[in-house]
Structures are given as C-alpha cells and as structure tokens.
Amino acid sequence: MSLSPFAYFLESPEQPLVRRSHALPEPGPAEVTVEVLACGLCHTDLGFASGAVRPNHALPLVLGHEVVGRVVAAGTSAEDLLGQAVLVPAVLPCGGCVFCQTGRSNACPQQKMPGNDIHGGFASHMLVPAAPVVPLEGFSDDSALRPLSVVADAVSTAWQAVRRAQLGEGDLACIVGAGGVGGFVAQIARALGAQVIAGDVDASRLDGLRAQGIESLVSIGADPRAARAAFKELIRASGVPSLRMRIFECSGTAPGQSLAFRLLQRCATLVQVGYTRDPVELRLSNLMAFDATIHGTWGCPPDEYPAVLELVKDGRIALAPFIEVGPMSDLNKYLEAMRRHELPQRMVLDPRS
C-alpha cells in the first residue's frame, strides 16, 4: 500500500472527526482493499456528523460513501480486480436475496452502505465487498478519476430516480431542488431527450443549470404559491400532456416536498429523491383524484453504473462545473462550511493532501 493506512473517525456527534491510523484486516475471499483516490462529501455525512441522523454502525465510524480508488489487495475470488481503478457504489447489495434477484438490488435488506453500515471513504484505504465494485476504463489518470467519486452517489442516485420514473424522450421533468442530485437529474433528463423545468432557492444553482443549456428555471422564494404558479405556467407552456409529466423532489425539505406534491396532475408521476425528518401534511386523496403515482427511490443498482459512466464519458453529464477537489485534511472545515450552506460546489476530497 502506497500510503500508511489512516482514516477520519466520527467518535462523537457534533465533534470534529479525528484522524488516526486505521489498520485494516486482510480482505476475505470475496472482499477487496481499495486505496482511496477521492471521496465526495455529501449532506448525509453532515447528518451523521451532526447527530441529526444515527448511522447503523456503532461509533467510532469512518464516514464517506462517494469513493473512487484502486484495488491494492483482493481475496481469492476477486484477484482479477487487483490494480484496477474502481468506483465503490454507495449501496453495496448482497447479490443473492430476492430483492437482488428481481432487479431491486438497491433496496437489498442486507445492503452495506460505506460510512453507515461499514467504514467509509474518508480514509486512505477501505475494505469492501468485491462483487458490487465497478471497474473503470477509459479514464486516463488519477486527476481524471477523482471527479468520478460523485458518480458513486449523487449522479447514480439521479440516474436511478429517472429510471424509477420511466422518463423518456419527449417527457417533461419538473425538478424541485436543483443542487447536487437534483442538478444531475436535470442533466440526465435533458440527455434522454426530455424537456426540463428546474426550481431552487439558490440562484447560483439555477445559473449552473442555465450554463448547461437548461432555460426553464424557477426561483423559489418565500411564497410557495408564487413558486407553484411559476412552475405551472412553464408546465403549460411546455405543451406536454400531464400523463408524461415526471416530478422529482430533490430538495429534501418539507416545503419542497409540499411544492412537488402540489404539482401533481392527471396521471403524473412524482419521485421522492430528497430526505428530511420533518413531517409534511399532504392530501393523499389527490392521488386518487388524479390517478397519479408516487415512487420512492434509494441509491442505484451497481449494474446500472456503466450506463451512467457512458453519459459522463460522452460529455452529456458535466461534472467539473459542479465539483471542487480539496484536501481531505480540511474535512472538518468543509463539514462546517456545509452546515452553514457556504459550499458553492460539491466537495471531492483527496486523502493525499
């Protein structure tokens, strides 16, 4: 291993993560040790670090679930991965249960999520099951590989949400919450030939999408009725019938969820992507009256990652304008900036700095 193993541990909620040595056992027959090239910083990490959400693994725990790296050790059944650059999915399914066998491996009850169920990627190395990792080809060097860390969650979760909605060419995607996952939902929907309407409270996020050629944008202010009216005007102008309308709630806020639900029309589909612990009061009878559909979505099956990576390779999903690579040694500083809503881009952390 080219780095002496270390990791940043969450030892207690609301306290800085602590860097210390991290001796890993040798990989079992179906495991690999991944030397981390980069790990993305997600709001889920902040939820765990702040104590707002309790991880499944007892503390101390290494957080981080958006990992790209190289396999430096492998068990006997995974030796073909030695030396390969890989993406570590944010959801690692077991591969053998009825959920996995019927195409719903992202909902596998035995799944392991790095930084939640097992030690994650805010580290120099991590130990993970071998079967779900995704080999990476066609990316020239470490600097090209590092931005791909966000594909492990933010981009692949967006892809799974679009798949769950069965969105296709000529459909209409309405996105509430255009930062992070929501921004990638917008890019993917556009790449698949759908019309896109996106709304957010942050003007800079809308500017980022405008730079990618998405023009139908809604500035969501303090008045929810005004935001709803702005969305509905753009929906009418699209000319797309409501049964081809797909709504994606990506804000992970109670007001965002209320807004998304109130956009439902006849035979429209809503996909809930964001997460909040706050309760929301909804009139579920709208589903009956509109013959509408709501789906949840969680993670992404590992076998879907190659399709996502092809969109990145082809330039139909832009990563560089929406991320910033920084030193993992500043992890606690970035967590605090995220808590204060002061990170303009999604941070990708390099353990070598």
Q: What is the CATH number of the domain that holds 269?
A: 3.40.50.720
Euclidean distance between CA atoms 282 and 280, whole angstroms: 6
Q: Tell whether 45 and 146 lie within a shared domain.
A: yes
54: tokens are 């309790």
Query: Which tens digits make up the pLDDT trace of 85-115?
Result: 999 999 999 999 999 999 999 999 999 999 9
Same domain, 124 and 179: no
Total-model pTM = 0.95
Residues 50 and 130 placed together within one structural domain of the fold: yes
3-state secondary structure of 205: helix
C-alpha–C-alpha distance, residues 127 and 88, integer Å: 10
Q: 169-204 pLDDT, tens per residue?
A: 999 999 999 999 999 999 999 999 999 999 999 999
- The total domain count for the chain is 2
Task: Render the burial of 158-183: b for 16+ CB within 10 Å, e for the rest.
Answer: bbbbbbbbebeeebbbbbbbbbbbbb
Alpha carbon distance 76, 244 (integer Å): 49
How far apart, in Å, are the Cα atoms of 304 and each of 30, 106, 171? 21, 10, 21
Tens digit of each residue's pLDDT (9 = 90 or more) over 118-141: 999 999 999 999 999 999 987 768
3-state secondary structure of 141: coil
User: Is 344 contained in some domain?
Assistant: yes
Distance CA 220, CA 256 (A): 9
Whether residue 34 is predicted with pLDDT greater than 50 in this model: the reply is yes
Cβ atoms within 10 Å, residue 91: 26
Using DSSP's 3-state secondary structure scheme, residue 209 falls into helix
Residue 1 lies in a domain: no
Using one digit for the tens of pLDDT, what is the confidence trace for 276-292?
A: 989 999 999 999 999 99
User: Based on the domain organization, do 145 and 12 belong to the same domain?
Assistant: yes
| Residue finishing a domain among 296, 315, 334 | 296
Q: Are residues 288 and 343 in the same domain?
A: no
Cα 67 → chain centroid = 12
DSSP state of 171: -
Range of the domain at 206: 162-296
How far the first Cα of the chain sits from its last, in Å, is 17
The alpha carbon of 324 is separated from its chain's Cα centroid by a whole number of angstroms, namely 16
